């Protein structure tokens, strides 16, 4: 499996959270929303300028900014 930064993902890619940065306030919020190591998701949309990125995980969609996701590494599944 290839590990990349979250911001390198492209539309339609399926991926899994490999690692997350040390817990801070906003990181804990992401964990509460289901972005924990091992969680699989698919990139649904990317804004025209590349930010934010919309993902589908655990039955709901979430829009995330690349800057917020700094430090999250993901494994590309396909």
Domains in the chain, CATH or no CATH each: 2-76 (2.30.30.90)
Top mean pLDDT of 10-14, 20-24, 48-52, 71-75 is at 10-14
19-56 residue pLDDT tens = 888 777 778 888 888 888 899 999 999 999 988 999 99
Query: pLDDT value at position 69?
Result: 86
Residue 57's pLDDT is 93
Average pLDDT over the chain, rounded to whole? 89
- Do 17 and 74 form a contact (C-beta atoms < 8 A)? yes
Any idea what the Cα angle at residue 51 is, between residues 68 and 32, rounded to 5°? 35
Q: Cα 6 from chain centroid? A: 5
């Amino acid at each position: 499996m290839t590990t990349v930064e979250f911001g390198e993902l492209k539309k339609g890619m399926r991926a899994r959270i490999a690692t997350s940065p040390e817990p801070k306030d906003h990181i804990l919020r992401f964990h509460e929303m289901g972005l924990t190591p091992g969680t699989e998701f698919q990139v649904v949309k990317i804004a025209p300028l590349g930010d934010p990125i919309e993902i589908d995980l655990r039955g709901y969609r979430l829009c995330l900014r690349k800057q917020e996701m700094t430090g999250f590494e993901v494994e590309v599944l396909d």
